[in-house]
Structure 1
């Protein structure tokens, strides 16, 4: 299996995981009846970090999907990096560096959501915050699973970006800076 197929597989897998994360967080709700008449509904909008996760993961999943579609529209240009494709390869590499920055943003947003969710699980006595997950157990379990999927997808994004850099720079000579290797 060459790097092109591995990269496509990792992009598809991370797209699925990001879409799964966004759906699990975005559609997760649980309603509880408090004091026999008062109802309280827990949604992702109650925690700003979860709200951000939904939008970031959706955007990155769309970007991944566009890159996978691009790989099927232009299937052979990485295998034979000619002068005409060199600029396209550099453009995709620079996009993937933005992709790597997105990986860091996704990872940071996921870790912020994990931190906020940990407060929901444990509570904080000094601030008199009660444990939310005692009342909304299913909601918290589903959010935990979604955050695990998001963390795995962020790691896959970093690996994909490394493979993309390798796929570009393996065509260049190690002795002469940014000159294509001879045949």
Structure 2
């Protein structure tokens, strides 16, 4: 059971890394230039919208974190012989669980913020006097939409990783370990 779960965790982390890197690359390398008036041209990049910049930073960081977890997973043999090692691995399991939770929530939140900004770029907002940008930069907006789709798949996969981390944490709390009172 333990070996099978470790294989699934490695597989899910690799898939999450692929989707996170794909999201970051699709957003960061997406540019489109249009001629606005005669010789004046406008270039659309992810740097034009702060939500897309933050999305690139967060997805890159989350991919790096998952890569570090893969390295930790491959280089650690977890023999738990003494109480010191058991408590040490308990702390590591808790830290991993909490960091997995943070990675899931941050990637989902930044992707949702980028999605909201993309809706404003698609529809515009008369209240803020923002014009529709996707009418002029169609290919740019389509590629951002694909990146956002990949960006939503990554937190779903990372949620499964977080469930595995939760299992690893809470399996350390057995009832036998905490039952010190016995009738004599």
TM-score, structure 1 normalization:
0.87
Distance change in 2, residues 1:138/1:55 (3 Å)? same
Runs of 4+ in structure 1 over 6 Å off: none
Is residue 30 of structure 2 the alignment partner of residue 28 of structure 1?
yes
User: 2: CA distance between counterparts of 1:63 and 1:138?
Assistant: 31
Distance change in 2, residues 1:39/1:167 (3 Å)? same
Give the corresponding residue for 2:137: 136
CA RMSD of aligned residues (A): 2.0
Distance change in 2, residues 1:85/1:9 (3 Å)? farther
Is residue 162 of structure 2 the alignment partner of residue 153 of structure 1?
no
SS in 2 for 1:39: strand
- Residue-pair matches, total: 176
Give the corresponding residue for 1:126: 127
SS in 2 for 1:134: coil
- Bigger mean CA deviation after superposition, 57-66 or 154-163: 154-163
Distance change in 2, residues 1:40/1:89 (3 Å)? same
User: 1: CA distance between counterparts of 2:27 and 2:164?
Assistant: 29
Structure 1 residue 174, shift from structure 2 partner: 3.4
Structure 2's unaligned 5+ residue stretches are: none
SS in 1 for 2:60: helix
Q: How does 1:95-106 map to 2 (within 5 A)?
A: 95-106=96-107
TM-score, structure 2 normalization:
0.87
8 Å CA contact 1:81, 1:171 repeated in 2: no
8 Å CA contact 1:172, 1:178 repeated in 2: no
8 Å CA contact 2:93, 2:169 repeated in 1: no
User: 1: CA distance between counterparts of 2:134 and 2:124?
Assistant: 9
